[in-house]
Structure formats: structure tokens, C-alpha cells
């Protein structure tokens, strides 16, 4: 039990230091960081898969300058979408995912992106991280986005042993109201 208490104190100190650092840090200014449209945030989560942010930013700009709406993406050819998102890599696979998402949202959700985790997770190709991106940045919900890198860092500093522990720990130690900000770190 004593180890658990020490573990929790260290975890809280770790979060406090990260949030303190974030207050002073300058973050790269990608186009997509200013986006609040839920469909575009879903698309962003697909584009970011196995890609670097700088390339994703270029692909994001190209995609939405030519196909600005969900309807446009749903109606475009896969070839056109793939060419527009080429900088993000895996462009043929991602083009199919983007178009499929657009069509599902149009056909099954009246062109609206669900505002809760359970419904988002039912969408084709959308996992926990993508759902959290949309909830945090499109719907301004106080959720923590957890990807492999977050787990890897927490494991290296000794705060978790298994990936499945990550969400529970972070929800316990990152204060409510600061979770969205914590995502920038």
C-alpha cells in the first residue's frame, strides 16, 4: 500500500511538472490545430496514422481546400482523395477510410459526427484515440487522448506496467479541466 501511495504522489508530481512545462512551451502551429469541425477532426485522426505532423498538415490543407465538406469527400473519387492526401503517406488506404467515414456519417448519422465515445467507436476505423481527438477538439470535452507514445512514456517513467492501466491512471492524476491541455504535451 505504501508503494501505491508513493506511486500516486510521483504521478501527480509528474503531471504537475508537465503542465507547468506546457504553460511555457511553444507548440508547432499546424493548420489542423485550429480546426473545430468534427468531421475534419475525424479525418485528421485517419491522416495522422503512421505519419508525421508536418506531412499531415500539408495533406490536410490540400484535402480540405479542394473537398471542403463531408459531402464532397463522400462524392469524390478515391483517386482524387488519394492524390490530395499523398503527403500523409499510405494515401490509398487512408483515402478509402476517409471516404467510407464520410459515407457512413451521411447515410447513418444524417451527416453529423456522434458526440459520444460509444457511438464514435462504432464508426469504421475509429479507435479510442481518434474518438478522443474528436471529443476533445471538436466538442470541447475534457478527455485525455491516449496513443502509444503516451503509454510508452508512462511505462518508461514507471507509472504503468501495462497499456490497459494508462487511461485509469491518467483520469486519476490529471485534474479535471486540465485534460484537454494535457493532450498538447
In a domain, 28, yes or no: no
The dihedral sign for the CA sequence 82, 85, 87, 88: negative
CATH assignment of the domain containing 90: 1.10.340.30
Is the same domain home to 166 and 111?
Answer: no
Is the same domain home to 82 and 123?
Answer: yes
Residue-wise pLDDT tens for the chain (185 aa)? 334 544 555 777 877 887 787 777 666 667 767 778 999 999 998 998 888 888 999 999 999 999 999 999 999 999 999 999 999 999 999 999 999 999 999 999 999 999 999 999 999 889 998 999 899 889 989 999 888 888 898 888 888 899 999 999 898 888 888 887 777 65
CA distance 63 to 46: 13
Domain count, the chain: 2
In a domain, 165, yes or no: yes
Is the same domain home to 124 and 56?
Answer: yes
In a domain, 30, yes or no: no
In a domain, 117, yes or no: yes
In a domain, 31, yes or no: no
In a domain, 59, yes or no: yes
Kindly report the number of other CB atoms within 10 A of residue 25's CB atom. 10
Is the same domain home to 88 and 127?
Answer: yes
Q: Among 146, 148, 139, 149, which Cα is nearest to 169's? A: 146
Range of the domain at 109: 37-137
**pTM exceeds cut of 0.85:** no
Amino acid at each position: 500500500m505504501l508503494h501505491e501511495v508513493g506511486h500516486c504522489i510521483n504521478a501527480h508530481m509528474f503531471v504537475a511538472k508537465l503542465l507547468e512545462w506546457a504553460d511555457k512551451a511553444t507548440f508547432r502551429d499546424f493548420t489542423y490545430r485550429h480546426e473545430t469541425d468534427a468531421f475534419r477532426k475525424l479525418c485528421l485522426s485517419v491522416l495522422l496514422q503512421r505519419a508525421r505532423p508536418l506531412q499531415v498538415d500539408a495533406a490536410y490543407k490540400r484535402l480540405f481546400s479542394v473537398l471542403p465538406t463531408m459531402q464532397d469527400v463522400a462524392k469524390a473519387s478515391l483517386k482524387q482523395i488519394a492524390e490530395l492526401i499523398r503527403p500523409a503517406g499510405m494515401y490509398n488506404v487512408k483515402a478509402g477510410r476517409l471516404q467510407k467515414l464520410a459515407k457512413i456519417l451521411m447515410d447513418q448519422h444524417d451527416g453529423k459526427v456522434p458526440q459520444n465515445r460509444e457511438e464514435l467507436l462504432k464508426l469504421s476505423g475509429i479507435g479510442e484515440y481518434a474518438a478522443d481527438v474528436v471529443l476533445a477538439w471538436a466538442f470541447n470535452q475534457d478527455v485525455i487522448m491516449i496513443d502509444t507514445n503516451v503509454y510508452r512514456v508512462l511505462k518508461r517513467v514507471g507509472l504503468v506496467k501495462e497499456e490497459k492501466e494508462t487511461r485509469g491512471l491518467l483520469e486519476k492524476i490529471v485534474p479535471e479541466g486540465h485534460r484537454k491541455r494535457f493532450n498538447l504535451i
